[in-house]
Structure 1
Amino acid sequence: MRITLKQLMIFEAVARSGQVARAAELVNLSAPATSMALAELEKQLDTRLFERVGNRLRLNAQGSLLLPLATEALQKVEQIEQLFSSPEATLSGTLNVAASSTIGNYLLAKSAVAFCQQFTSSMVDLNITNTQAVIKAVLEFSVEVGFIEGQCLDSRIKVEAWHKDKLLVFCHPAHPLAGQQVEPEQVRGQHWVMRESGSGTRDYFINAANMLDLQPIEKFSFSTPDAIKQAVRQGAGLAVLSELTLEKELNRKELAVIEVNGLTLARQFYRIRHKSRNPSALCDAFDHFSQRFLNIAP
């Protein structure tokens, strides 16, 4: 059985008007086409739906049974059309996003909350992990867009500059180099508290340190900025993190910065997408909203 929405629409129009000719005008069809569609519906249902009384058609028992069901079906279709033709429709649903630690915790988490408060039919599912895991999630299509702190050289992924960041070398306030501007040899061979393997912060720092032959000795490795800051507060060594993560501790003088001459720690954040996947309207809306909310130049 293949009942069509067109047949139900014609049936309802005939039921409401009582005449094929009048129903044909309502559905913008010819009278013969309207009559033929009604006859086909009765054939498919194997029952008559109307009785002729004079020049009018009146619903019989079977037609009266069908009418509320047909009306409900047509109303549901209309609701679907209205839902997906409204401006709000494209900003509904769930957007899956992955971001590396600094970006996720200090930028996108607050942006996602603000976006969902404004667009209440949307939800941003933000997975915060490290750069390599973000790249993997984009490649596996488990997220629509990713934001990373490190490099991505995979040819399947489109990489775009998104925001700039600065890394800071820091230490315990009682460290002999605390608050000083020093030469590279003064920190050469020092103990360091590092981010875990796969972290964009780690990779960027190691590359910059190797250019100055700093020879950092990895004493500890942690996957979160909070763990690294705690270790440094306990005198475990030097560390490097985004300035986004250190503002509170530096203001409280719980940690101190060391400036190493020649150590370039300004870095780029990146937005990544799979090349074979076009961004949804919801994804584009979140991206533009975040740029405004975080005051990021496009």
Structure 2
Amino acid sequence: MTLRYLEIFLALARTPNMRDAAAQLFISQAAVSSALRDFEAELGVALFDRIGRGIRLNDKGRLLEERLAPLYNQLQNVLALVASDALAGKVRIGASTTLSDFVLPQVLYDFRMRHEQVEIECESGNTADIVRNVENGLLDVGFVEGEVHNLAVEVTPLAKEALVIVTSDKTLAQSGPRAIEDLLDRHWLLREPGSGTRETFLRKITPRGLRPKIFLEFEHNDPIKLLLHNPGTLSCLSPRVVQRELEAGELFAVAVNDIRFDRTFYRVEHRDRPFSALRDALSNAVQSCLREG
């Protein structure tokens, strides 16, 4: 069964005349007759009654036309949409925790408002999880903040940010810039291995032979922010994660005078994936938000 059979049947249902239907479809009358005969044979049921030299829809034909016509029109609209230059389609994206919680929600909302024919599936994980799922084809594109060491994926820098050391100890925060060595014996609350935030922090201090006193590790930022209200605790987080708490005076940034915890946000795609206007537009929207923030 082909779409052409359906098109010919619907044309005959609207205009039950072989010659007129053939003219509408720009094919021969013999081709219309042959297609209808093959269509009915494939279905195993007659759709038209032959009356004299003419044809008329029978009960089965009227049922098929009534149910099929709106579905066929919908299919034609979908095919036209896919073939058009408009942004449309379904995209599967993944983002590391900071981005998925504090950047992407508004970006995706605004994007969908501008492009109603786009569907977006989004999953969250640490940088290692997202890169692995992009490599395995489970995600179309990933957005991460950790270094990527995987030859199967293509990595594009989007924007930079500097992590901040945070505490609930106002006195410590206001005591002036400190050397990082002076802070490492406190209770450090870090993200789990595989996290881009954790990797950035440790990568900056380990070349100096330094190691923080890791007290607890978590997969998400919220438990860390909650536990920072305990005395003697510190963490290194994205300023996006603690922006509300810093503005409310619930947490405080500790200035460090001998090191910066800079990192880069990246777009990650499989090297073998062809260009997609939809993925590119979505990536540009994410990049614009990161640079404005």
TM-score by length of 1: 0.81
CA contact (8 A) 2:13 2:65 kept: no
CA contact (8 A) 1:196 1:221 kept: yes
Residue of structure 1 aligned with 2:176, choices 176, 180, 186: 180
CA contact (8 A) 2:10 2:69 kept: no
Give matches, 1:136-285, under 5 Å. 136-176=132-172, 178-187=174-183, 189-278=185-274, 280-285=276-281
Return the alpha-carbon distance in structure 1 between the equivalents of residues 180 and 129 of structure 2: 32
Return the alpha-carbon distance in structure 1 between the equivalents of residues 78 and 47 of structure 2: 35
Structure 1 residue matching 2:55: 3-state secondary structure: strand
Match of 1:57 in 2: 54
Listed as ranges, the gaps of 5+ residues in structure 1 are none
Match of 1:81 in 2: 76
Match of 2:291 in 1: 296
1:31 lines up with 2:29 in the alignment: yes
Cα distance, 1:81 vs structure 2: 1.7
CA contact (8 A) 1:104 1:128 kept: yes
Deviations 1:97-148 (A, max 9, x none): 2211111111012222333344445443322221122222223333222111
Compared with structure 1, are the counterparts of its residues 32 and 151 closer, same or farther at alpha carbon in structure 2 (3 Å cutoff)?
same
Cα distance, 1:247 vs structure 2: 2.0
Return the alpha-carbon distance in structure 1 between the equivalents of residues 211 and 37 of structure 2: 87
CA contact (8 A) 1:148 1:272 kept: yes
Return the alpha-carbon distance in structure 1 between the equivalents of residues 14 and 170 of structure 2: 87
Return the alpha-carbon distance in structure 2 between the equivalents of residues 221 and 12 of structure 1: 64
Structure 1 residue matching 2:110: 3-state secondary structure: helix
Letter in 2 for 1:66: G
Deviations 1:52-100 (A, max 9, x none): 53xx4132xx74532541464355233212123135985354x332211
Return the alpha-carbon distance in structure 1 between the equivalents of residues 185 and 47 of structure 2: 93
Compared with structure 1, are the counterparts of its residues 70 and 111 closer, same or farther at alpha carbon in structure 2 (3 Å cutoff)?
same
Return the alpha-carbon distance in structure 2 between the equivalents of residues 33 and 204 of structure 1: 69
Compared with structure 1, are the counterparts of its residues 37 and 135 closer, same or farther at alpha carbon in structure 2 (3 Å cutoff)?
closer
Structure 2 residue matching 1:181: 3-state secondary structure: coil
Listed as ranges, the gaps of 5+ residues in structure 2 are none
CA RMSD in angstroms comes to 3.1
Structure 2 residue matching 1:260: 3-state secondary structure: coil
Compared with structure 1, are the counterparts of its residues 83 and 89 closer, same or farther at alpha carbon in structure 2 (3 Å cutoff)?
farther
Letter in 1 for 2:104: L
Cα distance, 1:242 vs structure 2: 0.9
Return the alpha-carbon distance in structure 2 between the equivalents of residues 52 and 64 of structure 1: 15
TM-score by length of 2: 0.82
Q: Larger Cα Rg: Structure 1 or Structure 2?
A: 1
Cα distance, 1:207 vs structure 2: 1.0
Return the alpha-carbon distance in structure 2 between the equivalents of residues 185 and 48 of structure 1: 85
Letter in 2 for 1:173: D
Match of 1:97 in 2: 93
Structure 1 residue matching 2:264: 3-state secondary structure: strand
Return the alpha-carbon distance in structure 1 between the equivalents of residues 6 and 181 of structure 2: 83
